[in-house]
Amino acid sequence: MATVQHPHHAPPGTAIRPDGMPAGRGGRYALWLALLVLAGAGVAYAIEHRPRGTDTETVVRVAPEPLPPEPAVVPELAPTPVVAPEPPPEPPVPFDEPEVTSREPDRDGDPDDGLADSLTAADIKAGIAKVRFKIERCIERSDARGTVRIKVKVSPSGRPSTVSVVETPDRLLGTCIAREVKNAKFAKTRMGVTFTFPFGP
């Protein structure tokens, strides 16, 4: 191989190859070039396959501090109403105890007919007992509770001539009992009688 002196790149006396490279350094130049190519390829590969988001800033989300709890609202308590004590109950009225208010003489009666002058308490109870089950039915059908007083006027024939409600906790209950008492039948007497009879539960 002929050597040519290159006046710019080789010192005097250095052999020059036909491609212009110094004969003694060609291998090293080729090695450096190969290393540069490999380094560039490695950088390009690293850039292409780098993880996403590595070139962005990391955003750290900080949770806001919890707000202090609102103070509990205590409802105002309504004042306790003052309830007046109930009056003591009235003493119960004796049941089935008639109160005879008057006796009327029978002007047409015969004093020797053997009849009693008037009805006794036992006679009145006996007459009421004949319609007792009907009166109890009136009481059972009503939701009212209390005493019902019925005023009855019985003629000497033993039939009630007048029946009226004196006291009742419920109008329908008093009317029902008065209707049944109207159908009662008492013993005959020479004198008529008027009495008030209490009914209760």
The per-residue pLDDT for range 1-41, each reduced to its tens digit, is 444 444 444 555 555 555 555 555 556 667 777 777 777 77
pLDDT digits 0-9 by tens, 152-179: 999 999 999 999 999 999 999 999 999 9
Mean pLDDT of the 174-192 span: 92
In one letter, which amino acid is 196?
T
